[in-house]
Structure 1
């Protein structure tokens, strides 16, 4: 049988459609979102974004043997250097994914394989230099046979600042179109699923603060759905938290899910929310930059600002007189009220800096 005659699953058919629609979404196989990583070493934030762009670039032909190409400009956007691209490609070459399979004897087994078989990078330091790569044979077989997938908003994906938040977002994209929009598992399974390194954030309070709270803040701000979790305590082990329930819900007025089509190819795609459209425009204006994070700069509407965009945190530190930045942030929200939702970019930073300076003048430095 000729390669072109080999049937492909719904995932690659959806990738072909995404190509025709302008690649506003990345079609990512559900198997890859649910896969674990060898040695618990999941890709970094930048590597996850580059991998998403490689998958999107290959599109419906990702399953074919042979190379695909992408320009460095497509990967680095407006970033002025190609240095980090080389490091990210090296990292992706070392990534191994693990997923359930059957052995040659037909017994349940676990497949461990690389995602990328090889890459060739032109050495010229200009944006039109190309990178060639080929997905590994196991990865191609997984892509070819996949029948469920997430439709990941490309601009939203590029706006995330935490790899854990991006991991939660991808899970949400995979589940938001289902009747049951929840995931349940042990704390260890959640850590493994999100790629928390072994021996890191071992205290649950640290895990809650650095992973779950940050993920909620970013997902609720960027995605077309919200993220909540429930901590399930043991009834026999001193009330220790032993399991987690992740739940996702479409934002009011978000329409049907932009994230996923699991079954019928005729399902209608969601038109993006106003916030997503603004994020997408901002990312498009900057060239879909991966290495220098593109994001619509907005102020978190609730919770701590510890994980907000770096300029927001820096202004609080430089002009807040040593006061607790979250105390200033809450006062700022109360003063701005509903106006805060329409404030972004340079205007937001100017307003926030002015408020921090005014706070310090009135109260002095600590």
Structure 2
């Protein structure tokens, strides 16, 4: 399909990203830099669902008319169907604020809804669909947008803090620039992240519940690291006047490690991050076994090391032959299997067994 020449670079990039597969989500820089209307702080689920809607609409998001997505696709946000209705209702109430020019030619602030309407099919199955249309102000912004962020889809969906998602998006927008720092007053940052006006007024709490959780998640999962600097107001004691969010590109090895972590099961992620997984044990037939260093090359039926993997296959493999799953796992992992060891290897194997079972009927 030809790309409409009336649109800016963002919609063209979204069109290309869709043709290349579902690895990245193209999000307009204007939307990333926009702020939530006061009193509105979208939940983690709402932020992820919005990203999936943007991905689904891709280069056609600026056009009037309905877009359609299945509930099965929206479950990529880790939300079940019974909670999806609440999440969509929440998104309908979200308003964004961004700079604009008034009809009189003066600087002004635009406040508008993101989504004009949605229609959700009531059948509770993965093939049911949701139809929606972006609001006219949102579509106009998307049509003219000329700068954007490439969001790693898997990394974004793996984040578990709603503030991590916004900071991650800011980092993706800035990481390719010479100046990779966001600067603003503390109230500006609170508004930017959607922190409720009455919450976390003490900066120590803001640091503890917003910045620190975002840092540990982003440092583990993103292709860059995140930190911040606190600027104090002269003559006002310890009061924080300004905060700088700083983003630093990772080296190749660290980028590969982050990509590997994104592919692993969520279970054990905190322990892997904290370095506390070395003594994890797998129990098979009542016997405690050490976390293995490599994946077996033969049958899983022999030896203590093989028994550890056999127990996982029996527990999570859906009744399929353990050696059949193992061969599929070796093919799937390829060369990566040579560098995966210990508890990370067991977690990867467990996740693959669950996926293998979910994609096939019971034997």
Which TM-score band (shorter chain)? Answer: 0.7 to 0.9
Displacement of 1:301 in angstroms is: 3.7
Q: Is the 8 A contact 1:69 1:132 kept in 2?
A: yes
Find the residue that maps to 1:344 and give its secondary structure: helix
Q: Residue in 2 aligned with 1:83?
A: 82
Distance 1:151 1:206, change over 3 A: same
1:297 counterpart = 2:269: yes
Q: Residue in 1 aligned with 2:259?
A: 276
TM-score (norm 2): 0.73
Q: Is the 8 A contact 2:48 2:77 kept in 1?
A: no
Distance 1:126 1:61, change over 3 A: same
Find the residue that maps to 2:123 and give its secondary structure: coil
Distance 1:299 1:80, change over 3 A: closer
Q: Residue in 2 aligned with 1:212?
A: 211
Q: Is the 8 A contact 2:180 2:248 kept in 1?
A: yes
Find the residue that maps to 1:273 and give its secondary structure: helix
Equivalent positions of 1:345-364 (< 5 A) are: 347=347
Displacement of 1:81 in angstroms is: 4.1
Q: Residue in 1 aligned with 2:94?
A: 95
Displacement of 1:241 in angstroms is: 1.5
Number of aligned pairs?
287
Distance 1:122 1:194, change over 3 A: same
Q: Is the 8 A contact 1:159 1:296 kept in 2?
A: no
Distance 1:251 1:6, change over 3 A: closer
Q: CA RMSD in A?
A: 2.8
Displacement of 1:346 in angstroms is: 5.3
Q: Unaligned 5+ residue runs, structure 2? A: 281-338, 351-363
Q: Residue in 2 aligned with 1:155?
A: 154
Find the residue that maps to 1:299 and give its secondary structure: helix
Find the residue that maps to 1:242 and give its secondary structure: strand
Query: C-alpha separation between the residues in 1 aligned to 2:148 and 2:79?
Result: 34
* CA deviation profile, 1:38-74 (whole Å, cap 9, x unmatched): 1241311100000000000000000000000000000
Q: Residue in 1 aligned with 2:183?
A: 184
Greater relative CO, 1 or 2 (CA 8 Å, sep 6+): 1
Equivalent positions of 1:320-339 (< 5 A) are: none
Displacement of 1:80 in angstroms is: 8.7
Q: Is the 8 A contact 1:217 1:300 kept in 2?
A: no
Q: Unaligned 5+ residue runs, structure 1? A: 256-271, 284-293, 306-311, 313-338, 351-366
* Bigger Rg, structure 1 or 2: 2
Query: C-alpha separation between the residues in 2 aligned to 1:237 and 1:144?
Result: 45
Query: C-alpha separation between the residues in 1 aligned to 2:178 and 2:78?
Result: 41
Find the residue that maps to 1:15 and give its secondary structure: helix
1:128 counterpart = 2:127: yes
* CA deviation profile, 1:223-244 (whole Å, cap 9, x unmatched): 1100111111122111321111
TM-score (norm 1): 0.72
Query: C-alpha separation between the residues in 1 aligned to 2:39 and 2:221?
Result: 27
Query: C-alpha separation between the residues in 1 aligned to 2:134 and 2:77?
Result: 27
* CA deviation profile, 1:4-38 (whole Å, cap 9, x unmatched): 85610110010011001102100001111111111
Query: C-alpha separation between the residues in 2 aligned to 1:254 and 1:114?
Result: 41
Q: Is the 8 A contact 1:40 1:192 kept in 2?
A: no
Q: Is the 8 A contact 1:181 1:249 kept in 2?
A: yes
Find the residue that maps to 1:276 and give its secondary structure: helix
Q: Residue in 2 aligned with 1:45?
A: 44
Find the residue that maps to 2:133 and give its secondary structure: strand
